[in-house]
Amino acid sequence: MYTGEYTGEVEVGGPTDVRELPGLTITKIATNPFNNNCYLLRDTATGATLLIDAAGDPDRLLAALGDGQLVGIVETHGHWDHWQGLAEVVKATGAPVLATAADAPELPVPVDRFLTDDDVVTVGAHELTAITLVGHTPGSVALHYAAEGGHLFTGDSLFPGGVGNTEKDEKRFARLIDDVETKLFALPDSTWFYPGHGSDSTLGAERPALPEWRARGW
């Protein structure tokens, strides 16, 4: 199903990790300020590239882009540590910015396209589907690429071991765990997910812990 030796283990200042899917390359980069994960998705036939979270180190992101054409930057949510490099990358490339309307006011540049559930984001011949998630922020968004067993970019809404931080707010946690369970875990166990910090996992590996997460409240 997968090719290469991709592990998803990256650190600031270290090498990128690259996963080669048929027709699509995923490059994971760890950047400042808080070991944030950024992802470049490149259509290998055309060079069209999508950046998920311009979190920091814009020079490194632009170097990793290389001769690719940046067709969009998706900000998974409005927290400042996920957009420190956004203004510089936009200035250098002119790429449009995509985010939800709820989190757009937190970003340092205007949003060109507001994402809602089931919106399609294209990268060359490839399509990703937007999934909105409320709780970590008012308007977080994940992107799902259905091919090759499924690939899901979750921002800070889902990590190995639990959902994102809701600051001990019971209502926010309840909304987030509900969204994560009903929207994300509706996808197949084979789905590999890529979070905004740290290591990756699969939905199948995390699914058995859902009742524990709900019971503990974080």
Q: Is residue 46 part of a domain?
A: yes
Query: Could you tell me if 73 and 95 are in contact, meaning their C-beta atoms sit under 8 angstroms apart?
Result: yes
Q: Is residue 2 part of a domain?
A: no
Residue whose entry in the numeric block shows the structure tokens 């590999």: 192
What integer pLDDT is reported at residue 9 of this predicted model? 97
The string of pLDDT tens digits covering residues 155-212 is 999 999 999 999 999 999 999 999 999 999 999 999 999 999 999 999 999 999 999 9
What integer pLDDT is reported at residue 4 of this predicted model? 55
H-helix or E-strand spanning residue 172 = helix 170-179
The four Cα atoms 104, 108, 110, 113 give a dihedral, to 10 degrees, of -50
pLDDT band at 2 (very low <50, low <70, confident <90, very high): very low
Q: Is residue 190 part of a domain?
A: yes
Number of domains comprising the chain: 1
Q: Is residue 181 classed as helix, strand or coil in its secondary structure? A: helix
Q: Is residue 9 part of a domain?
A: no
Query: Could you tell me if 112 and 93 are in contact, meaning their C-beta atoms sit under 8 angstroms apart?
Result: no
The string of pLDDT tens digits covering residues 41-57 is 999 999 999 999 999 99
Does the reported pTM lie above 0.85?
A: yes
Q: What is the mean pLDDT of the chain?
A: 97
CATH number of 44's domain: 3.60.15.10
Q: Is residue 57 part of a domain?
A: yes
The string of pLDDT tens digits covering residues 144-164 is 999 999 999 999 999 999 999
Domain assignment of residue 113, given as a range: 17-216
Q: Is residue 167 part of a domain?
A: yes
Q: Is residue 116 part of a domain?
A: yes
- 6: DSSP letter: -
Q: How many contiguous H segments (helices) and E segments (strands) does the chain have? A: 5, 15
Q: Is residue 10 part of a domain?
A: no
Residue 3 predicted with pLDDT over 80: no
